[in-house]
Amino acid sequence: MGNTLKPYVISNVGMSLDGKLATVNNDSRISGPEDLKRVHRLRAMVDGIMVGIGTVLKDDPRLTVHKIDTTPKRNPVRIVVDSNLRIPLNARVLNKEAKTIIATTSKMSKEKEEKLKELKKLEHVEVIKTDGDRVDLKQLMEILYKKGIRSILLEGGGTLNWSMFKEGLVDKVSVYIAPMIFGGKDAPTYVDGEGFKSVEECVKLKLERYYPMDDGIVLEFQVVKDPK
């Protein structure tokens, strides 16, 4: 990325031992009560929480801090990567509990124009446009940094996670592994996308710490940055 400034990005996930985020029927009850608190402690520490539109459509998350008490009450900015503005206007991530940024592209269709008009009526919602057919994540990171967002918790699904790793935008990985095997070639995984072709290309991690949590284990890694 050269010298471009970007937020510090922590990729967090709860998954089964075989790397699944949910079963084939989208049952995603993976984290126990203590791990849910761990996630909300992470949320309370960052400036933004980022997901892809797939997560919003599938899970309708609030993306706020509500499993722990924080004084004063603090909710990070919610960031949704949504290239085609598919976000439903009744999505919980658009409620007034926190500010929301929708990242989309400058490429407009009639449907997108209509959705944009509706979103602009919501005072706590901001729409950011990047170049290209899909959201340019590097450009988005620069824009978010300029807006004062210095740290992001990435809670994306497998598609967004792949794009962020591929672009070299993730700095830390925090993973809760539950003692369960889900199986299913169509069950959602931590990182999907086209995948790296060789071990040389893949993202390398350095284990920093690990500890038991609920019935499973949490692993924390630093992403090893390519010196090039």
pLDDT in tens, 44-91: 999 999 999 999 999 999 999 998 888 777 899 999 999 999 999 999
Average confidence score pLDDT of the chain: 94
CATH number for the 8-213 domain, one of 3.40.630.30, 3.40.430.10, 3.10.20.30, 3.50.50.60? 3.40.430.10
pLDDT at 7 over 90: yes
pLDDT at 157 over 80: yes
pLDDT at 1 over 60: no
Flag whether the pTM goes above 0.85.
yes
Distances (CA, A) of 132 to 14, 67, 139, 176, 213: 31, 38, 11, 34, 42
pLDDT in tens, 104-139: 999 999 999 999 999 999 999 999 999 999 999 999
- How confident is the model over 20-48, as a mean pLDDT? 95
For tokens 């520490």, the residue is 45
pLDDT at 3: 61
| Cα gap 22→156, rounded to integer Å | 13
| Cα gap 78→46, rounded to integer Å | 11
Distances (CA, A) of 24 to 30, 51, 77, 81, 182: 14, 20, 31, 24, 8
- What 8-state DSSP symbol labels residue 163? H
| Cα gap 104→125, rounded to integer Å | 13
pLDDT at 28 over 80: yes
